[in-house]
Amino acid sequence: MKRLVTFAVFFMFTFCLAACSVPVKGSTSTRENNLGCAFESDVSFVLDKLNAQAKMKHTDEGVWSIEFDSPNTLSGIRLEFADDTVNASYKGLEFSVPQSALPVKAMMLNLIEAVEENSKSEQLSGEEKDGMLLISGTLEGGDYTITADTDGKLRSFEMPNNKLSITIDTEVSG
């Protein structure tokens, strides 16, 4: 009798553990990796309470540029990232600084680092959601999520802890 009761308790315990398990979030998927492809696009930035519009260009590994259209306080500012240097220009004024001199939470540096790091893989791997692939990772500046479309191209970049969201609005070329 003790064996029967022990078996029944063991069975119920196992059943309860199985019933309480957490379901897996989305499905893991892979697709072609085109994060490193050259493109030119309109982008929207949200950084905490700042909303900005810009044109972004990626021409080669580690070579990025961005020119802000709005808000008025940023309009006309152009930043170029290449060879571990950032060149900034505004209405004829120009200066350069090493990328290492920028803060860890600099939005463009985080985007560039995440995209460049993930573009080295042959395939992209992440969680499939609404036809997009969500690729998660961690940088010195915090956790991030890259969203890639069905062609494996960059569509957005988010760092929730930094209140940063970058959305690729329309691809001009690439």
Confidence of residue 18 (pLDDT cuts 50, 70, 90): very low
User: pLDDT, tens digit, for every residue of 116-157?
Assistant: 999 999 999 999 999 999 999 999 989 999 999 999 999 999
Distance CA 126, CA 134 (A): 5
Cα-flanking dihedrals φ and ψ of residue 83, to 5°? 50, 40
User: pLDDT, tens digit, for every residue of 72-103?
Assistant: 999 999 999 999 999 999 999 999 999 988 88
Higher pLDDT, 20 or 108: 108
Distance CA 35, CA 124 (A): 9
Higher pLDDT, 10 or 1: 1
Contacts of 135 (CB under 8 A, 6+ apart): 118, 124, 125, 126, 145, 146, 147, 148
Give 55-111 as a 3 state SS string: EEEEEECCEEEEEEEECCCCCCCEEEEECCEEEEEECCEEEEEEHHHCCCCCHHHHH
Enter the pTM of the model. 0.79
CA atoms within 13 A on the CB side of 74: 16
| Tokens found for residue 28 | 């893991």
Confidence of residue 29 (pLDDT cuts 50, 70, 90): confident
Instruction: Kindly indicate whether the domain formed by 27-173 is annotated with CATH number 3.40.30.10.
Output: no
Write down the pLDDT at residue 171: 66
